């Protein structure tokens, strides 16, 4: 995940619009020259630049929903905390990264230089000479005192809403100058001010061909059909088949095609065929931003497997255990069943956000346990937390299904076993388990497919974070959440499609196993 904020309010396409820039200039001027420009990054970021002020030790950047002339007029945006800056930049000679803070907090991108602010910020100006990346302290950039221009990609701006931004320079005494604030506004929107939509005739033609072809096939089959009675079946199933073909099989095919093109949000609709380049890029050093020799694929893949198997195995274990408890003649079975149903019944996204709040460093879990652990901010704890939450969300469904299967086991088998003096373990191993297996095996395979594809738990919990390095998957990113980042935050559709195809190939393994085990492929005659 690129940055916590970036992920949380995702943006599909973005354009920036320079709307107004009030120029009330009164001495002393805090920040002399600023500009704001667009089409930067394909997420909810706004690229923003300002000229530094001598003697400053810190620059506070404020967002507001309304235009403002001094800090008390700020109307905090959805992501702001009243009275606090949304981002800040330190000025310091000490250019060392804060060792206690992980790289992962650097969601705030920034560059500094001793030159002037470039004409337009939309270009790749930062690759030109004179531009450097800052070091970080407490997740915020640190620039040297001799920097004169600063450009940053402001995170956490909700798309489609106008936001007003101002920078306040803070001097050594900690006092800030709020008069004569230069407030710039930006709006991040999905479509406005984008180049006109590309030619979609290809898509129309493809859909037309599919619909026409299928209709024609149906027509031919209809008239060739030997049985006058049975052939009406075609008329009944045709609409469903058409829908499935145009909106599932065609997109899948199109996705596979996309993975061989360099289609992205910028040259959208005009992607060119580039062969297997995307697949090479998946494993190439070009995308290895943190220089650990892995562009993130294997790391993500490993965690995806841990996530999938960890969750499914725990679901199975707890499900069987709790179901046996439920079915062992307890008082108030219906009431307990209803209570245990709740984790499954609460809408998934609500559960995830509830847990996110509880596991927050200042949340309830730390409060109850009187511990102080940043469950979602530390690598291992974040991994543990997402798996734990998914176990909480999934165990009750497994309990329900398993208790249904258990109830179907004939009682007299147990009575016979009791008379023969069979021990508890053997009763489970040789009686219960074999009876449960036909239900458990397909369920666990299905569970694996679901968990492998489960997007919203990780996306809403950690957004894939803690982040490792800009451009690399976060610590808790699984394959599907990282594909989302590539496609909709980077806007690299082709590359995203290549990842998707790889995921698809992996899923085929699970799916084939499922089809073989359940014999579901052998539809009835």
Partner 1 sequence: MRDNLAVRWWTPVSLRAVASFGWISLMIALFMCAVSWMRGDDAGLTTALMVVIANSVIVFILPEDVPARPVPEKFALFLVSGASMTVLSLSYIIHRSDSSVGLTLVDYWTAAPSMLVGAAAVIAASRSSRWFMGKASTEEALNGLARSRKHSGAIIQTAKQIVLIHLGIFAILPPLWTVMLSLSPGNSLSMDFSISTATLEHYEKMWGSERFWGWFWNSIIVSVATTIFGLTIAFPAAYGFSRYRFYGRKIGLFMFLIVQMFPGALILVPYFIVMKGLGLLNTYAGLVVAYSVTALPLCVWLMKGFFDTIPRELEEAARVDGCSQMQIFSRIIFPLSLPAVAVTCLFSFLAAWNEYLLALTFLSDTDRYTLPVGLASMVSSAQAGDSYWGDFAAASILISIPVVLLFITFQRYLVDGMVAGAVKG
Q: Which of 315, 356, 383, 468 binds partner 1 (CB under 8 A)?
A: 356
Interaction between residue 419 and partner 1 (CB under 8 A)? no
Instruction: Report the residue from 19, 24, 78, 306 that binds partner 1 according to the rule CB under 8 A.
Output: 78
**Which 216-245 residues touch partner 1, going by CB under 8 A?**
221, 225, 227, 229-237, 239-241, 243-244
Residue 137 and residue 98: Cα distance in Å, rounded? 5
- Selection from 383, 391, 410 nearest residue 466 by Cα: 383
**Rounded Cα–Cα distance for residues 340 and 322 (Å):** 9
Which of 219, 339, 407, 433 lies at the binding interface for partner 1 (CB under 8 A)?
339
For the stretch 243-252, contacts whose Cβ atoms lie closer than 8 Å and that sit 24 or more positions apart, written own/partner, are 245/210, 245/211, 245/214, 246/207, 246/210, 246/211, 250/206, 250/207, 250/210, 252/504
* Candidate segments 62-70, 118-126, 274-282, 507-515, binder of partner 1 by CB under 8 A: 507-515
| Binding characters for partner 1, 16-55, by CB under 8 A (x = yes) | ----------------------------------------
Q: Among 46, 340, 436, 461, which residue sits at the site for partner 1 (rule: CB under 8 A)?
A: 340
d(Cα 381, Cα 392) in Å, to the nearest integer? 16
Contacts of residue 189, defined as CB under 8 A and 6 or more positions apart, other chains included, come to 14, 15, 17, 159, 160
213 binds partner 1 (CB under 8 A): no
- Does position 371 interact with partner 1 (CB under 8 A)? The reply is yes
> What kind and span of H or E run contains 50?
strand 46-51
What minimum distance in Å lies between the beta carbon of 414 and partner 1? 15
Residue of 514, 468, 463, 517 lying closest to 488 (CA atoms): 463
Looking at the Cβ atoms of 361 and 430, the one nearer to partner 1 is 361
Instruction: Tell the smallest beta-carbon distance from residue 62 to partner 1 (Å).
Output: 13
What are the angstrom distances between the C-alpha of 229 and each of 223, 226, 239, 240, 523? 12, 9, 19, 20, 21
Q: Rule CB under 8 A: say whether 397 interacts with partner 1.
A: yes
Name the token pair of 260: 């061989």
Give, as ranges, the residues between 457 and 496 that touch partner 1 (CB under 8 A).
Answer: 459-460, 479-480, 483-484, 487-488, 493, 496
ω into 113 cis (within 30 of 0): no
The reply on whether position 268 binds partner 1 by CB under 8 A is yes
Which of 19, 75, 116, 200 contacts partner 1 by CB under 8 A? 200
State both tokens at 378. Answer: 């530390």
User: Which CB atom, from 136 or from 488, has the smaller least distance to partner 1?
Assistant: 488
Gap between the Cα atoms of 206 and 200, Å rounded: 10
Q: How far is the CB of 64 from partner 1 (least distance, A)?
A: 15
Is residue 273 near partner 1 by the rule CB under 8 A? Answer: no
Q: Which of 27, 369, 425, 519 binds partner 1 (CB under 8 A)?
A: 369
């Amino acid at each position: 995940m690129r940055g916590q904020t970036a992920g949380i309010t995702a943006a599909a396409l973005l354009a920036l619009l320079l709307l107004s820039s009030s120029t009330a200039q009164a001495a002393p001027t805090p920040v002399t020259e600023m500009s704001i420009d667009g089409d930067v990054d394909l997420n909810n970021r706004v690229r923003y630049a300002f000229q530094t002020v001598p003697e400053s030790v810190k620059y506070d950047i404020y967002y507001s929903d309304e235009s403002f002339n001094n800090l008390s007029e700020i109307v905090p945006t959805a992501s702001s905390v009243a009275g606090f800056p949304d981002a800040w930049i330190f000025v310091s000679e000490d250019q060392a990264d804060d060792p206690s803070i992980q790289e992962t907090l650097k969601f705030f991108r920034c560059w500094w230089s001793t030159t002037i602010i470039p004409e337009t910020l939309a270009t790749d100006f930062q690759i030109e000479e004179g531009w450097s990346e800052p070091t970080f302290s407490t997740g915020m950039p640190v620039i040297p005192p001799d920097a004169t221009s600063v450009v940053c990609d402001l995170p956490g701006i909700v798309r489609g809403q106008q936001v007003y931004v101002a920078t306040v320079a803070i001097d050594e005494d900690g006092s800030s100058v709020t008069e004569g604030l230069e407030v710039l506004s930006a709006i991040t929107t999905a479509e406005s001010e984008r180049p006109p939509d590309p030619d979609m005739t290809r898509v129309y033609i493809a859909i037309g061909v599919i619909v026409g072809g299928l209709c024609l096939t149906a027509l031919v089959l209809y008239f060739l059909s030997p049985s006058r009675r049975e052939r009406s079946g075609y008329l009944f199933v045709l609409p469903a088949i058409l829908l499935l073909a145009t909106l599932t099989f065609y997109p899948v095919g199109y996705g596979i095609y996309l993975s061989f093109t360099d289609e992205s949000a910028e040259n959208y609709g005009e992607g060119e065929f580039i062969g297997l380049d995307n697949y090479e890029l998946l494993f190439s050093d070009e995308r290895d931003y943190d220089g650990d020799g892995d562009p993130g694929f294997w790391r993500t893949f490993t965690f995806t497997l841990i996530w999938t198997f960890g969750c499914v195995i725990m679901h199975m274990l707890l499900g069987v255990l709790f179901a046996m408890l439920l079915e062992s003649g307890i008082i108030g079975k219906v009431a307990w069943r209803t209570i245990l149903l709740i984790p499954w019944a609460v809408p998934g996204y609500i559960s995830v956000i509830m847990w996110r709040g509880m596991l927050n460093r200042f949340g309830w879990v730390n409060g109850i346990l009187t511990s102080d652990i940043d469950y979602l901010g530390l690598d291992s704890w974040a991994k543990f937390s997402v798996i734990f939450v998914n176990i909480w969300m999934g165990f009750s469904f497994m309990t329900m299904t398993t208790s249904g299967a258990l109830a179907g086991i004939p009682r007299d088998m147990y009575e016979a076993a009791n008379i023969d003096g069979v021990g508890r373990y053997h009763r489970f191993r040789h009686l219960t388990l074999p009876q449960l297996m036909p239900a458990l095996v397909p369920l666990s395979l299905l569970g694996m497919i679901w968990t492998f594809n489960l997007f919203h738990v990780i996306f809403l919990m950690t957004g894939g974070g803690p982040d490792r390095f800009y451009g690399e998957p976060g610590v808790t990113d699984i394959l599907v959440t990282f594909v989302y980042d590539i496609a909709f935050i980077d806007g690299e559709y082709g590359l995203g499609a290549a990842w998707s195809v790889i995921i698809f190939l992996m899923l085929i393994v699970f799916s084939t196993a499922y089809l073989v085990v359940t014999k579901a492929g052998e539809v009835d005659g």
